[in-house]
Amino acid sequence: MLVLTRSEVEEVLDLDKLVDALAAAHTELSADSAKLVPRVGVWSGSGVLGAMPGYAPTAGLGCKLVTLFEGNRDRPTHQALIALFEPDTGTPTALMDGTYITAMRTAAAAALATKLLSRPESSVLAILGTGVQSRAAQEMFPRVRDFTDIRVAGRGEYEDAVRGADVVHCTTGATEPIVRWDWLAPGAHVSSVGYGHGGSELDPEIVSRADLVAVEQRDSAFAPLPAGAPELDPRGRDGVVELGEIIGGTREGRTSPEQTTLYKSVGVAVQDLAAAALVLAAARERGAGSEIELEEIHA
């Protein structure tokens, strides 16, 4: 089994390939050839430990264990491990740090949604929040659109950043809205990857009035916490589309420049597997990581 540290994962993950890898996994997910269960979790009193198993033909079989401890100050609030297994035998093949993968695949999925749903000529990007997800978005979003103006806003600056923006990306753990419907320019695309206990960074009016709302998977988006996004409940399952449906051509995406679109992320296992598969392939090619033997297998 190959073991990869965080620095090794950061070194070999090809961000230029990540959006396309996620597109393939989402297409499989919406076509039901990829399988997963919505995230399950347990609370420790200080934070939550979540488990996210899944399988995708292009990404393989695996599971992420991820913690969310919002009180962390000397380390990330999200920390993770990803284990990969041989799909035909169940034999463990790799164990890698998943903290960097979690950050980058979340931003890459939002970038994929931006590629699918924003106007092609979009040039002004507003990123709300200044933490890990903000920095990841600054890395990924310019890979899908030629932004000439990227505004990064902290508390107290949100409205100024949003007004006139073509794409608005929310990355906070806020429990109250940080972006309002009235601030949005006509035809704007909004995305939200933040998770707030007991509330949402999104104005409910954006959820209800958007012309199109996209999610990774309906079952995950409408699952109970800690998996789902309760702010989407007023739309209902029939009121959203999946990214993979848009990519696969079974559902329409944006149909006019005037439409307002929304992508709400909850994070699904096939995204982690798609990124981890890229890491594993690159690590094997470069000879990165450390091989260990858990158990000798006798024929």
Confidence of residue 199 (pLDDT cuts 50, 70, 90): confident
pLDDT at 215 over 60: yes
Confidence of residue 296 (pLDDT cuts 50, 70, 90): low
Q: Which two tokens stand for residue 126?
A: 């507003």
Kindly list the structural domains of the chain, giving each domain's residue range(s) and its CATH number in brackets, ordered by start: 2-102+270-291 (3.30.1780.10), 104-267 (3.40.50.720)
**Rounded mean pLDDT of 85-107?**
97
Mean pLDDT (the chain) is: 95
Share of the chain above pLDDT 90, in %: 92
pLDDT at 292 over 80: yes
26-40 pLDDT, tens digit each:
999 999 999 999 999
Residue ranges of alpha helices (H) inside the chain are 6-12, 15-30, 99-117, 132-140, 158-162, 204-209, 218-221, 243-248, 269-286
What per-residue string of b and e applies to 152-172 under the rule 16 or more CB within 10 Å gives b?
A: bbeeeebeebbeebbbbbbbb
pLDDT value at residue 205: 98
If phi > 0 it is left, if psi is from -120 to 50 it is alpha, else beta; for residue 289 that is left
CA–CA gap between residue 183 and residue 271 (Å, rounded): 31
| Cα-trace Rg, the chain | 19
**Residue 109 contacts by C-beta under 8 Å, 6 or more apart in sequence?**
22, 26, 216, 243, 265, 271
The CA-atom distances, in angstroms, between 152 and each of 65, 124, 211, 262, 293 are 30, 11, 26, 19, 46
Whether pTM exceeds 0.85: yes
pLDDT at 297 over 70: no
Confidence of residue 262 (pLDDT cuts 50, 70, 90): very high
Distance from first CA to last CA of the chain, Å, rounded?
18
SS3 66: strand
The CA-atom distances, in angstroms, between 242 and each of 59, 80, 120, 147, 259 are 19, 25, 20, 25, 17
Residue 261 CA to its chain's centroid (Å): 17
Neighbours of 181 (CB within 10 A): 18
SS3 62: strand
Neighbours of 292 (CB within 10 A): 10
CA–CA gap between residue 127 and residue 130 (Å, rounded): 8
Count of CA atoms in the C-beta half-sphere (13 A) of 221: 24
Neighbours of 1 (CB within 10 A): 17
Asked whether 212 and 243 are in contact (CB, 8 A), the reply is no
pLDDT at 186 over 70: yes
